[in-house]
């Protein structure tokens, strides 16, 4: 499959998963539960989340298109599927079910999966392409710190 088609495929999958995650979190960030939590002083304003996730998913989709072009192993497909499950389930577990510790476990595992992609696949041009993962990785580190703060202080 051509790279452009793969990029479109991954854009559809990734933004579809974002939509599913948003739907599963119900009222999430606007819920009384979340509004009443002690949140970290470095919690970004609400509008940043949409901009961040849009940027992350565009970069991640381009990265995945190039990765899947050269690494069509079952392991890469499984790793991508695990990433989807962790990403979508965090929204439900944290915002809908209010299971802060389990949310912390999930987001920590998601961070490890994206970190694995970053470290493992560095052959030839993928060494440069992996920088497309940095927005995702940095955002997950921030989100993990926010989840940790909420766990400790509530």
User: How many folded domains does the chain comprise?
Assistant: 1
Task: Find the helix or strand (DSSP H, E) in which 68 lies.
Answer: helix 46-70
With beta carbons less than 8 A apart as the criterion, state whether 137 and 59 touch: no
Q: The domain that contains 98 carries what CATH number?
A: 1.20.1260.100
Domain span holding position 22: 3-153
What is the spatial distance between Cα 86 and Cα 111, in angstroms, rounded to a whole number? 10
- Encode the chain (154 residues) as per-residue pLDDT tens digits: 799 999 999 999 999 999 999 999 988 888 999 999 999 999 999 999 999 999 999 999 999 999 998 888 899 999 999 999 999 999 999 999 999 999 999 999 999 999 999 998 877 777 889 999 999 999 999 999 999 999 999 9
Query: How many Cα atoms sit within 13 Å of 51 on the Cβ side?
Result: 5
């Amino acid at each position: 499959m051509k790279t452009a088609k793969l990029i479109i495929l991954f854009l559809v999958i990734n933004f579809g998963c974002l939509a599913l995650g948003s739907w599963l979190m119900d009222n999430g960030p606007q819920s009384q539960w979340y509004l009443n939590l002690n949140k970290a002083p470095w919690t970004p304003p609400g509008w940043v989340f949409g901009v961040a996730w849009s940027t992350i998913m565009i970069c991640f989709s381009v990265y995945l298109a190039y990765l899947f072009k050269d690494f069509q192993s079952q392991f890469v497909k499984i790793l991508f599927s695990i990433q989807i499950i962790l990403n979508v389930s965090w929204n439900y577990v944290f915002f809908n079910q209010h299971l802060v510790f389990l949310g912390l476990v999930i987001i920590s595992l998601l961070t490890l999966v994206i970190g694995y992609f970053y470290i493992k696949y560095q052959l030839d041009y993928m060494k440069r392409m992996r920088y497309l993962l940095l927005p995702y990785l940095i955002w997950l580190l921030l989100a993990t710190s926010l989840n940790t703060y909420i766990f400790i202080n509530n």
